[in-house]
Amino acid sequence: MLEQLPILSLLIWLPILGGFLVLFGPGDKLLVWSQRISIVISVLTLLLTGWLLWVYQNGSAEYQLVEQADWIPSFNIQYALGVDGIAVPLIALTGLINLLVVVGAIGSVKFRRAQYFSAALMMTGLMNGVFAATDAILFYVFWEAMLIPMFLMIGVWGGPNRIYATIKFFLYTFFGSIFMLVALIYMGRELGSFAISDMQQMSLSLSEQKWIFVAFLAAFAVKIPMVPVHTWLPDAHVEAPTGGSVILAAIMLKMGGYGFLRFSLPITPDGADAFSWWLILFSLIAIAYIGFVALAQQDMKKLIAYSSIAHMGFVTLGIFVILMLAGAAKAQSMALQGAMVQMISHGLISGALFFSIGVLYDRVHSREISDYGGVVNSMPVFASLLMLFVMANAGLPGTSGFIGEFFVILSSFQADWRIALVAGTTLVLGAAYSLWMYKRVIFGKAASDKISRLEDINGREKFILMTLALLILALGLYPQPLIEMMQPSIENIIQLATSSKLGGQG
């Protein structure tokens, strides 16, 4: 009986319907009930992800838990779902972050809280849809629809400059995605199918591949984001409420990386190869240049936002460096494992950092580093947890933040040692901006009376931060279960990405 449960559909529709239920049911008037329903739905969703992890069989790159139904038969567009080793961990991360965001909102969202819950829940369902869709159009619909609750979150519960941020966010992502849609439709018409796996097998000429690759790049580079299309992210983060920032950093950015792995590399291997040097170059710029930019930030959220961009540089570097590693199977697997682990790990770490800034913001109502100092005196428990997060952000071995950077640096050394040289600067820069912020905010004498009277984190905040702390450590000390789950899919992607579609020529 349970085996036939459409887990993926449930993971998508349970939170979405739950979101509607909260919105049109109890709403803000019966806030307690909205709260209860939201938490129950979030817990159920998380249990479903647990169930998903339980039933998912390692050792194969085939889609599992497949669901299929006709959606728009005249164009052969399917409601097709399925997951492989790279989708499952991202769905699990989504379920976890959703629960934490809902729990976090209870204390820190002051108005229209039911609607906030509703937005978070709907977003979760839609993001699960992005990771589970195996039909390109279905994927695209989730991809765009997911933005709506995010706009709302920033636009309604955001800071003073929220309109500018939302518009910027909108323009960037919209222009990016529209090219992807064109590419998808082009391929769908050629193929007569929108199944992503068919597209991966489709034969395409080099110029077709280049065009399609660039179209995908426009969508995914904005989302992840890569330099130079990254400037929407700091603005969006600064204006977004805590939960919005957490979801944005923890999950949404990962969709860019997921897109590269699911679409760009397998569908247009030769197109990607043609641009590989540029992509690596811009990944390195993201790591080094953005590292310096982060150093100059005065606003905590901006600093973490820039740090996210630099960390995502490792994801794109790991993804595209495999194109320069022909024949080195170990290094290729290591690079992609690094990219994937970096995505999951960054979800946990950046989530934890944005929650932590939220903790401070709720108390002091400022994100300016200079308004703080000596927080450790009044909030020792919080200070210890933040220490762990900051160190994880600086890539400390034993935390999850280390693995991705380590794998990507090691594997890119074999492509060209100078790539590793530039990427390695993160060891110094990442530590510099992370620890300098920590020093100015946490250490020292209490900067003001207000700081010296702050209350340490309460049970709810402790629950959120401790959960993330434990996962960051667990993943750092024993990544093997995650790596084992992803490896067959990663080998499959490497196989697709390194076999030319140009026939005779290569």
Partner 1 sequence: MSMQSQLLLVVLAPLFGALLAGLLGKKLGKKNTHRLTILGVAIAFAISLKVFFSYLYGGAQPLNITVYNWASFADLTIQVGFLLDSLTAMMMVVVTFVSLMVHIYSIGYMQDDNGYQRFFSYISLFTFSMLMLVMSNNFLQLFFGWEAVGVVSYLLIGFWFQKETAIFANMKAFLVNRVGDFGFILGIGAIFMLFGTLDYAPVFSKLNSAEVLIGNINTDEISPLAVVGLDKTISVWGEGSETVQWSLISFICICLFIGAMGKSAQVPLHVWLPDSMEGPTPISALIHAATMVTAGVFMVARMSPLFEFSETALAMVTIIGAITALFMGLVGIVQNDIKRIVAYSTLSQLGYMVVALGVSAYSAAVFHLFTHAFFKALLFLAAGSVIVALHHEQDIRKMGGLYKKLPITYWCSLIGTLALIGTPFFAGFYSKDAIIAAVGEAQGFASGFAQFAVLAGVVVTALYSIRMLLIVFHGPSRVDAHTAAHLHESPKVITWPLILLAIPSLAIGWLMAEPMLVGDYFKDAIVVHDGHDTLQALREHFGNAFSFALHGFVTPVFWLMLLGVVAAIGIFWWKPALADTLSKLLTPVRKLVENKYYFDEFNQKVFAKGAVSLGNVFWRYGDKAVIDEGVIDGGSQTVVKIAQKARKLQTGYLYHYALIMVLGLLALLAWLLFVA
Pull the structure tokens for residue 20.
């509607």
Residues 368-397 that bind partner 1 (CB under 8 A): 374, 376-377, 387, 391, 396-397
Q: Does 144 bind partner 1 (CB under 8 A)?
A: yes
Given candidates 166, 193, 350, 492, which one binds partner 1 under the rule CB under 8 A? 166
* Shortest distance (Å) from residue 397 CB to partner 1: 4
CB 277, CB 321: distance < 8 Å: no
Q: Does 478 bind partner 1 (CB under 8 A)?
A: yes
Q: Does 24 bind partner 1 (CB under 8 A)?
A: no
Given candidates 9, 197, 276, 425, which one binds partner 1 under the rule CB under 8 A? 425
* Shortest distance (Å) from residue 331 CB to partner 1: 8
DSSP 8-state code for residue 448:
S
What is the per-residue binding string for partner 1 in 63-92, x denoting contact by CB under 8 A? Answer: ------------x-----------------
The enclosing H or E element of 335 equals: helix 329-364
Q: Which residues of 84-96 are buried (b: 16+ CB within 10 A; e: fewer)?
A: bbbbbbbbbbbbb
Residues 308-337 that bind partner 1 (CB under 8 A): 329-334, 337
Q: Which residues of 270-291 are buried (b: 16+ CB within 10 A; e: fewer)?
A: bbbbbbbeebbbbbbbbbbbbb
Residue 325 has, within 13 A of its CA and on its CB side, a CA count of: 28
Number of residues near partner 1 (by CB under 8 A): 79
Q: Does 40 bind partner 1 (CB under 8 A)?
A: no
CB 392, CB 477: distance < 8 Å: no
Q: Does 463 bind partner 1 (CB under 8 A)?
A: no
Residues 217-236 that bind partner 1 (CB under 8 A): 228, 231
Cβ distance to partner 1 smaller for residue 67 or 144: 144
* DSSP secondary structure, 42-103, as one string: HHHHHHHHHHHHHHPPSS--S-EEEEEEEEEGGGTEEEEEEE-TTHHHHHHHHHHHHHHHHH
Q: How long is the chain?
A: 506
* Shortest distance (Å) from residue 127 CB to partner 1: 16
Given candidates 10, 206, 435, 496, which one binds partner 1 under the rule CB under 8 A? 435
Q: Does 148 bind partner 1 (CB under 8 A)?
A: yes
* Shortest distance (Å) from residue 504 CB to partner 1: 29
* Shortest distance (Å) from residue 47 CB to partner 1: 28
Q: Does 498 bind partner 1 (CB under 8 A)?
A: no
Residue 264: C-alpha distances to residues 179, 344, 493 (Å): 13, 20, 10
